[in-house]
């Protein structure tokens, strides 16, 4: 599989490394407004390949995107300590206008995955500017928040995170919704699992977990300036699902035409991914309060788009 990555910063290069190391990509082309950085990252990653896979990785201009199966956009300005994702909006739309025009000049049938923040809005902008079918353009959305939720639940319940089935939906940002009502361990509702195994999972613990998921990015950015390994893992996993035509489910951000009264907005719902992109978006069972929170999250994203 050939993958193009636009933006060779922390997220772009960590994604390139993960995709190359895992053997998911056969060929990776990096491009950046700072091409010497893209070249240096490609060279550095290529030196790990004798230990891992035969992926070919290089830095090039947009014309080399031709034939790419997937293009990942991670270019943009990074979120600074104390800055919200929406503060980034104006700067990043200007960058995107130029990037999308160049992508579309050389490839018209790739799948585009957007990681740049604010990701729901950048995804909506990419759908609109690229004019591609909305099932071929999506954002990483809450895939990372969902991973953080599963990690914290797994730590609390002393389980493998792969055995936790729970989603964070809505905006990848402050209004995201942790869907507790349908969270499961294997096939068992999570509250029931905690009760029979003797783990505390009351409102106080749930609020602590909620706070840690919601504020994870802020804490990581405070400590090391950026977050990238988690999202790189998520990006690689999505690419793998496309490559293998898996029909696997991820909480990713896509353009919703009309789902339970939510429409004309990009936000995250569980979505089935295969080699064509999004096969179907699913509206899962939720409590009345979670449904309301999801609608509020959609309204918040819409108000940013209107701005």
Task: Give me the residues that bind ligand NAD (CB under 6 A), please.
Answer: 6-12, 32-34, 37, 74-76, 78-79, 88, 95, 98-99, 115-117, 119, 140, 144, 172, 226-228, 231
Q: Is 35 exposed, middle or buried (0-12, 13-18, 19+ CB in 10 A)?
A: middle
Minimum CB distance to ligand NAD, residue 186 (Å)? 27
- 11: its two tokens: 């997220």
Q: Give catalytic status of residue 167 as yes or no.
A: no
Minimum CB distance to ligand NAD, residue 203 (Å)? 27
SS3 177: strand
DSSP H or E segment with residue 216: helix 203-224
Nearest-angstrom CA–CA distance, 167 and 63: 38
Selection from 2, 272, 277 nearest residue 130 by Cα = 277
Is residue 118 within 8 Å of 85, Cβ to Cβ? yes
Taking the least distance from each CB to ligand NAD, the nearer of 95 and 183 is 95
Taking the least distance from each CB to ligand NAD, the nearer of 34 and 133 is 34
Q: Of residues 165, 172, 219, 276, which has the active-site annotation?
A: 172
Residue nearest to ligand NAD (CB): 9
How would you label 65-92 residue by residue, b for 16+ Cβ within 10 Å and e otherwise?
A: beebbbbbbbbbbbbeeeeebbebbeeb
Minimum CB distance to ligand NAD, residue 217 (Å)? 7
Minimum CB distance to ligand NAD, residue 79 (Å)? 4
Taking the least distance from each CB to ligand NAD, the nearer of 76 and 170 is 76
Taking the least distance from each CB to ligand NAD, the nearer of 231 and 301 is 231
Task: Kindly list the catalytic residues.
Answer: 172
């Amino acid at each position: 599989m050939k993958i193009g990555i636009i933006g060779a910063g922390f997220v772009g290069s960590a994604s390139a490394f993960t995709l190359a190391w895992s053997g998911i990509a056969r060929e990776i082309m990096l491009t950046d407004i700072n091409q010497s950085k893209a070249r240096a990252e490609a060279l550095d990653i290529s030196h790990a390949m004798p230990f891992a896979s035969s992926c070919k990785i290089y830095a090039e201009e947009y014309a080399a995107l031709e034939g790419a199966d997937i293009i990942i956009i991670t270019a943009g300005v990074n979120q600074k300590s104390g800055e919200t994702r929406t503060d980034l909006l104006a700067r990043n739309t200007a960058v995107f206008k130029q990037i999308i025009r160049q992508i579309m000049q050389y490839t018209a049938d790739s799948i585009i995955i957007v990681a740049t923040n604010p990701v729901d809005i950048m995804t909506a902008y990419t759908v609109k500017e690229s004019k591609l079918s909305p099932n071929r353009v999506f954002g990483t959305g809450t895939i990372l928040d969902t991973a953080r939720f599963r990690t914290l639940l797994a730590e609390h319940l002393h389980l493998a995170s792969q055995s936790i089935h729970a989603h964070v939906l809505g905006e990848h940002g402050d209004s995201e919704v942790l869907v507790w009502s349908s969270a499961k361990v294997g096939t068992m509702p999570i509250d029931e699992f905690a009760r029979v195994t003797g783990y505390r999972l009351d409102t106080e613990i749930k609020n602590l977990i909620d706070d840690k998921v919601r504020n994870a990015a802020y804490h990581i950015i405070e400590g090391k300036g950026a977050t990238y390994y988690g999202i790189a893992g998520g990006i690689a996993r999505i690419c793998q699902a496309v490559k293998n035509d898996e029909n696997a489910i991820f909480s990713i951000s896509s353009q919703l035409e009309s789902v339970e009264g939510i429409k004309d907005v990009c936000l995250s719902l569980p979505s089935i991914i295969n080699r064509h992109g999004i096969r179907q978006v699913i509206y899962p069972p939720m409590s009345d309060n979670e449904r309301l929170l999801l609608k509020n999250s959609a309204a918040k994203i819409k108000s940013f788009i209107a701005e």
